[in-house]
Chain A
Amino acid sequence: MNRQPAAWLFLAPAAMVLGVFFLLPVMGAFVLSLTDYDLYALADLHNLRFVALSNYWALLHRPLFWAALGHTVYFVAVGVPLSMLVSLCAALLLHSPLARCKPLFRTVLFAPVVTTVVAVAVVWRYLFNTKYGLVNYMLGTIGIHPIDWLGNPHWAMPAIILFAVWKNLGYNMIIMLAGLQAIPSELYEAARMDGASAWRQFRHITLPMLAPTLLMVGILTISGYFQLFAEPYIITEGGPLQSTVSVLYLMYDEGFKWWNLGSASAIAFLLFAIMFAVTELMLRVGRKEVEA
C-alpha cells in the first residue's frame, strides 16, 4: 500500500511553517546582507541597491563591531568554563552516595533555569546596586569595599557573567548528572580494590567516561552564550561606555533602532559563521580527544 500521500499530509503543515518562516528568512538574511537596505528602502523599495560584500567590509573596519565581538568572546571564554565547572561540581555533589534529599536539591538548583530571563535580570540589577545592593553588602561583611558593578566598565561584564552562571547552572547540571549515572559502578569498585584515591578515580574514570557528555554540553553552552542579548539589554542597557554591547545587541540596535537592515544582517551572518566555526572546531578536536 502506498502511504506516501499520508506521510506528506502529516509533514506539510510543519514543513510549510519552517520553510516559509525560518528557512526562507535565513536565506533572505544572506541576500539582505548584500544590500544597503535602510530606512529609505523601507519607505520605498526603489532606493534599494546591491552592494555585494561592502556591508561586511564596512563592519570589519568598524571599531564598535570589534568591541561587541570582543565583549561576546569575553562572555563566552570566561562564562562557559565557569558555568560548566559550577554545574559539574553541583552534579558531582548530587551524584555522591552520601548526599541526602537529592530530589529537593535538584529541583532548587534547577529552578533558576525555568525563570524568565528578563524578570530575574531585573532582580539582579538591584542585587548588584552599588549602594543598596545585597551583593556589595555581603562583600562588605567580609571587608571588601563596595564594587561599582554596573557603573564601571571593568565590572559590568563580570556581573553579567555571574548572573548567567546562576541562571544556567541547573541545565548543564541535569545533563551531567545523567552522564554520571550512566557510568558503570563496577569501574569504581575495581578502582577501589586497586586502592585508587578519590581524586584518581575522578581523574581516570569519571572524566574520561564523562568526556562525550562534557563535549556536547560545552557545544550547547557555547552556542547559547554567543547569543547574549537580554541580559545586557536589561541589566546594563549595553553600558557603561558600551562595555556590555554584545554582537546581537549591536545587531538589534543596527537593525531595529537605526533600521540599517542590510548591515544588521551582515552582523547576524558573521556571528553565525563564527559560531559554526567554533562548534566545528570543538567537534573535530573533541572527537579526536574522546577517541584517543
Chain B
Amino acid sequence: MSPRIAKALIHGLLIGGAIVALFPMLWMLSVSLMQPGQASALPPPLLPAHVTLHNYQQLFLRAGMGRYLLNSLLVSSAITVLSLALNLMAGYAFAKLRFAGRDALFQGVVGMLAIPAQVAMLPLFLMLKPLGLVNNYGGVIVPAMASAFGIFLVRQYARGIPDELLEAARIDGAGELRIFVRIVLPLLKPIMVTLAIYTFLTAWNDFMWPLIVLTGQEHYTLPLGLASLAREHATDTELMMAGSVITVVPVLVLFLALQRYYLEGLLLGSVKG
C-alpha cells in the first residue's frame, strides 16, 4: 500500500470515528434547541427550524432542574474536597511514613479495589438508615469521603518525594503535620488536581448509589432527576435533550479545561502493582 493511500485511509477512519464519537452529543445540543415535537418527523431533522430556549425554560421553571443542578454541585464538591483531604493524608502515610504493618495494610487497600462497590450497598443502606443519612446529602457524601483508588493513586505519586527533603525538615525540628502541609502538599499538587477532577467527575456521574439512598426528589442529583424525567416525559424528545445537555456540559467543560491532568491520572491509576 502506498504511503499516500495509507495516509488517506488512516485519516478517513479517524475522521469517521470522531464523527461517531461527537455526533450524539451534537445532535443532543441541536434537538435541545428545537420547538417541542420538531424532532419527531421524517426525515429526522438535524438542525432546529427556529432556535428556542423553551425547553430549558420548562426544565428550570417546571421540572426543578435548578434544584437538581445545585444538589449535584453541592454533593460533588463536598465529596471532592473531603475525599481529597483524606486520601492525600493516607496516601502520603503509606508512601513516606514507616509504621508497623504498613505493607500488609496497603495490600488490603489494593485488595479493596477488586471488590465491586455494589456488594456493600444493601447493608450500607441499612446502616445509614438509623444514622439519619438516608434521603439526605450525607448519605451520598459520607461513604465517598475516602476511596481505595484515591489512596492508591496518591501513594504511587508520593513515593517520588525524596526522603532527604523530609529528613532535613525533621532535623530542623518541624512537626509531621507542618511537614505535610508545608513541604508535601505543594509537591503533590499535580496529583491533587488529577484526583480532584477524577473524583468530581465520578461523583457527578454516579447513579446507582444516589438512586438507592436519595429517595425524595428534593435531594435528587442531575442523573436521578434526568432518569425520573425520562420515565415521565418519554415522548418529549426536545425536553429530554435539554436535560441531558445541562447534565453533561459541566463535566465536558471541566474535562476539556483540565484534560492533561485527567489523562495522566488515568494512566498512573491503571499501572497497578
Interface residues in chain A, defined as those with a beta carbon under 8 Å from any beta carbon in chain B: 1, 3-4, 6-11, 13-15, 17-18, 21-26, 28-29, 31-32, 37, 89-90, 93-94, 96, 98-100, 105, 107-112, 114-120, 122-127, 131-134, 137, 166, 169-171, 174-175, 178, 216-217, 220, 223, 226-227, 229-230, 233-234, 237, 248, 251-252, 255-256, 261, 264-265, 268-269, 271-272, 275-276, 279
Contact = CB atoms under 8 A, between A and B. Distances in A.
Given A10-B97, A216-B272, A220-B270, A124 B24 contact: yes
Interface of B: 3, 6-7, 10-11, 13-14, 17-18, 20-22, 24-25, 27-28, 31, 39-44, 85-87, 89-90, 92-94, 97-100, 102, 105, 109, 112, 114-127, 142-143, 145-148, 151, 170, 176-177, 180, 201, 204-205, 207-208, 211-212, 222-223, 226-227, 230-231, 237, 240-241, 243-244, 247-248, 251-252, 255-256, 259, 262-263, 266-267, 270, 272
Nearest to A226: B116
Given A272-B116, A275-B116, A127 B270 contact: no
A271 to B, nearest CB: 7
B97 A114 contact: no
Contacts of B151: 14
Given A10-B93, A99-B14, A126 B240 contact: yes
Nearest to A19: B146
A118 B221 CA distance: 11
A23 B177 CA distance: 28
20 contacts: A1-B170, A10-B89, A13-B85, A13-B146, A99-B11, A100-B11, A108-B18, A116-B247, A116-B251, A119-B223, A122-B230, A122-B240, A123-B28, A126-B240, A169-B21, A171-B266, A237-B231, A248-B208, A264-B122, A268-B121
A226 B114 CA distance: 13
Nearest to A32: B123
A25 B177 CA distance: 32
A127 B147 CA distance: 36
Nearest to B225: A118
Nearest to B231: A237
Nearest to A104: B18
B266 A25 contact: no
A100 B109 CA distance: 42
A137 B14 contact: no
A235 B184 CA distance: 46
Contacts of A108: 18, 21-22
Given A7-B99, A29-B119, A21 B24 contact: no
Given A111-B25, A166-B20, A4 B99 contact: yes
B228 to A, nearest CB: 10
Nearest to B227: A118
